[in-house]
Structure 1
Amino acid sequence: MTKSNPNVEAFVKLGEFLRLFCDFTSNGQVAETTHSKWINKFNEVADSVRHHNGWFTRENVLFAFKQWGIILTRENLETWLASYDLRKNKTKQVALIMAGNIPLVGFHDLLSVLITGNKAIIKLSSNDTLLIPLIAKYLIDIETSFKDSITFTEGRLTDFDAVIATGSNNTARYFEYYFGKKPNIIRKNRNSVAVLNGNETNAQLEALGEDIFRYYGLGCRSVSKLFVPKDYDFDKFFKAMFRYRDIVNQTKYANNYDYNKAVYLMSEFKILDNGFLLLKEDKSHASPIASVFYETYDSKATVKERLQKDAEAIQCVVASGFTTAEIPFGKTQSPSLSDYADGIDTVEFLLKTS
């Protein structure tokens, strides 16, 4: 079925290009000169996007491109779509209100809309106005039918059949007011946590650093909270984090580190500090940039009960041998196609919406 679907073919080609582009950025050479135009365009945007959003460093943009290049293979796409009957879809206009906290954060929604045969009306976040349009232009170049399926708008959204909106808890109330009468997926703030038992290897803790520091902790899949046993040895944790010390050389991150440290000290909060990461005991899940909250526990059962209670505020649980739904250390920013935000199946939503 998928081999004859031009929409699937387009995303297979996009995946091939992203892998080629990432290879090019690694070694500076590319065999297929037919892609030179697009390689130059992607390279230019990867360089310039940080001038529009200081958090979108070249390293993080290339990481996002690489992850999507890994995901967008024919095998992955066909496996993902195998459990759906795309013939059930009735073509509709789907409004996509995208977040801009990390590079390409709204791409999975665009992918889901287009691959099911629907049309996307996209309202971009002011924090990410370059990456999604770049991907859209490439898709239209390789599959011209997408020209009528992708629209960008800066004004008020009108003439749509369904909406997928991602924002904060505050904007969610706005979304619900304006879009509540239409079929919708409205996403709020979420954070990710890690549950440690004290027996983690140095390699596991170093991998956890990827979950904490990738995208400067700005993603909903970024670990912002640790659950640790009482009397946990934080020296072991900080030793593993040392490999990420250069993050403090990023000016925006350093400014947040200095500011939050000053606030904590002035408020006389007890903190642990290694020079680039602050640890503060706190029951909240959402920690400020350059900070991670932690909470101690007596038993796994109490942690599981707590996480169940706060399920709607948690995106990922990183652990080893804690729960069947856990994510391995270092893998939060490498989700599969079926790892839907907030656990809501976007494709099923689109197919059921008439």
Structure 2
Amino acid sequence: MEVQPNILGAFTKLGSFLREFCEDSVSQNHHWSKALEKAIIKAGQQNGWFTKNNVLEALNSWGTLLTKINLEAWLSPYHISKDFNNKTIAIIMAGNIPLVGFHDFLAVLITGNRVIVKLSSNDAVLLPFLVTYLLDTEPLLKKKIHLTQEKLERFDAVIATGSNNTSRYFDYYFGKYPNIIRRNRNSIAVLTGNESIEELKLLGNDVFQYFGLGCRSVSKIFIPKNFELKHFFEAIFEFQDVANNHKYANNYDYNKAVFLMSEFKILDNNFLLLKEDKSYASPIGTLYYEYYDTMDSLNMRLKSEASELQCIVGNSAVSNSIPFGTTQTPDLTDYADSVDTIQFLLNL
């Protein structure tokens, strides 16, 4: 690993600032703290899903990750030479949750490449603020970062994140370039009936954080035949304030009306709808559930449908699972769609 010290130092300093801000917004970096507070307010005004709490969750997650120890541990398995990595990488960012494309942005710069970022109109405030901080910390990065909402031009490779529909557009326009093109994926939880109340509460965080808008948000649970769903409802009651967000409440009310008019059988606790369904992607305010016969048969099914899944939450009996409550706190090594972004960049 041979990361340029100025780049590593800039991101390390950014991490320190974010940790300090999230712990105490009136920090030693008073000027930057005030500016970030304004950016958070502006981001929420432009996108009603970006509540202050959700933005702070994202900022705190990145603050935790951006330490010298974490960055060096992440990059230690790779051979990164500053003499060879000088490509221009276009990143087309999604805007479903705050700073959802920051990992790609970090990966491009930390490997010594230049980045052109096409911002999502849904998340056009937070990354520009962080870039301003980085440039103040390390002015040499000005030659390596370009943010735009215009047509992308003059690049060597593409990393694009979107829906299944937009991915067809990405394939058409960027298929001739080396690329990572991400499509819809969903996250699920597998319950055995032996979960503690605390584990079910943690699952609530996997469901409700970012209002369920992320690909790492749990949109469906698999349950055994004898599972009492009332226990799940009881455990997640503390998340009822989610319905105070008008955008969430509007989606919940709309989907409830649609289900009732269609005479679908649903369970309802006044802020979450439970619907039995074989699909993975549930609408906002809704969690799908499906019964399974045996853990072995379910593990086989999930393995065969792995390309549709981002995260699987569960206990040790569930193959390739992660613990309850951890979907929204990925490590630097948790690559989206299991595609190693660093290796992709080094192979260019």
TM more than 0.5: yes
What does 1:1-354 correspond to in 2, within 5 Å? 5-25=5-25, 29-30=26-27, 32=28, 35-87=29-81, 89-323=84-318, 325-353=320-348
Whether contact under 8 Å (2:193, 2:227) holds in the other structure is yes
Q: By how many angstroms is 1:322 displaced?
A: 2.4
Letter in 2 for 1:218: L
Query: Measured at CA, do residues 76 and 324 of structure 1 come closer, stay the same or move farther in structure 2, by a change above 3 Å?
Result: farther
Q: By how many angstroms is 1:4 displaced?
A: 6.1
Whether contact under 8 Å (1:3, 1:9) holds in the other structure is no
Alignment deviations for residues 179-228 of structure 1 (CA, whole Å, 9 cap, x no partner):
00100000000110000001100000000000000000000000000000
> Could you say what secondary structure the match of 1:86 adopts?
coil
CA RMSD of aligned residues (A): 1.2
Q: By how many angstroms is 1:3 displaced?
A: 8.1
Q: By how many angstroms is 1:243 displaced?
A: 0.6
Letter in 1 for 2:310: Q
> Could you say what secondary structure the match of 2:290 adopts?
strand
Runs of at least 5 residues in structure 2 that lack an aligned partner in the other structure: none
Q: By how many angstroms is 1:119 displaced?
A: 0.5
Query: Measured at CA, do residues 3 and 97 of structure 1 come closer, stay the same or move farther in structure 2, by a change above 3 Å?
Result: closer
TM-score, with structure 1 as normaliser: 0.96
Q: Counterparts of 1:135 and 1:4 in 2: how far apart (Å)?
A: 19
Q: Size of the alignment, in residue pairs? A: 347
Letter in 1 for 2:226: D
Letter in 1 for 2:267: L
Q: By how many angstroms is 1:324 displaced?
A: 5.1
Whether contact under 8 Å (2:3, 2:110) holds in the other structure is no
Letter in 2 for 1:209: G
Q: Counterparts of 1:297 and 1:3 in 2: how far apart (Å)?
A: 48
Identical residues among aligned pairs (%): 55
TM-score, with structure 2 as normaliser: 0.98
Q: By how many angstroms is 1:312 displaced?
A: 0.8
Whether contact under 8 Å (1:139, 1:146) holds in the other structure is yes
Query: Measured at CA, do residues 136 and 4 of structure 1 come closer, stay the same or move farther in structure 2, by a change above 3 Å?
Result: closer
Whether contact under 8 Å (1:2, 1:8) holds in the other structure is no
> Could you say what secondary structure the match of 2:324 adopts?
coil
> Could you say what secondary structure the match of 2:24 adopts?
helix
Letter in 1 for 2:231: K
Runs of at least 5 residues in structure 1 that lack an aligned partner in the other structure: none
Q: Counterparts of 2:139 and 2:319 in 1: how far apart (Å)?
A: 43
Q: Counterparts of 2:249 and 2:24 in 1: how far apart (Å)?
A: 31
